[in-house]
């Protein structure tokens, strides 16, 4: 339908609202620690693979038990999920395994992913 907002309908009439609750100090600290738990892994990969994951220091998104950083200048992602660390270029099917989370936390070496030359099938 092509309903138009009339003068009698307030501007916020089509917005949705939800109730929020302030977290305690300990809940806030725990949430921050959970969000930043693997930032050292992301930053290590960003530094080692300069130019592949740009701009650096993006916000880490928590998705269930996984963590994701998206790099819009280079169309890449780093994902930590199920004890493994992956790289994936946008619009590609398969992620590239960089290593296990435990290995990378111990400082083990890894190989930076090759740049994606072609993202589409012809």
Q: With cut-offs at 50, 70 and 90, classify the pLDDT of residue 1.
A: very low
- The DSSP 8-state label assigned to residue 120 in this structure reads S
Q: How does pLDDT run across 5-58, given as a tens digit for each residue?
A: 566 777 666 777 788 889 999 999 998 887 787 899 999 999 999 889 999 999
Q: What is the pTM of this model?
A: 0.71
Largest CA-CA distance found in the chain, in angstroms, rounded: 64
> What b/e readout covers 31-58, taking b as 16+ CB neighbours within 10 angstroms?
eeeeeeebeebbeebbeebeebbeeeeb
């Amino acid at each position: 339908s092509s309903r138009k907002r009339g003068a009698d309908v307030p501007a916020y009439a089509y917005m949705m609202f939800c109730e929020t609750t302030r977290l305690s100090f300990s809940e806030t600290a725990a949430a921050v620690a959970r969000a930043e738990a693997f930032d050292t892994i992301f930053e290590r990969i960003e530094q080692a693979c300069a130019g592949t994951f740009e701009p650096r220091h993006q916000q880490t998104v928590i998705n269930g038990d996984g963590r994701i950083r998206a790099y819009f200048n280079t169309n890449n992602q780093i994902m930590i999920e199920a004890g493994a660390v992956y790289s994936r270029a946008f619009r590609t099917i398969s992620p590239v395994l960089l290593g296990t989370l435990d290995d990378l936390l111990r400082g083990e070496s890894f190989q930076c992913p090759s740049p994606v030359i072609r993202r589409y099938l012809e």
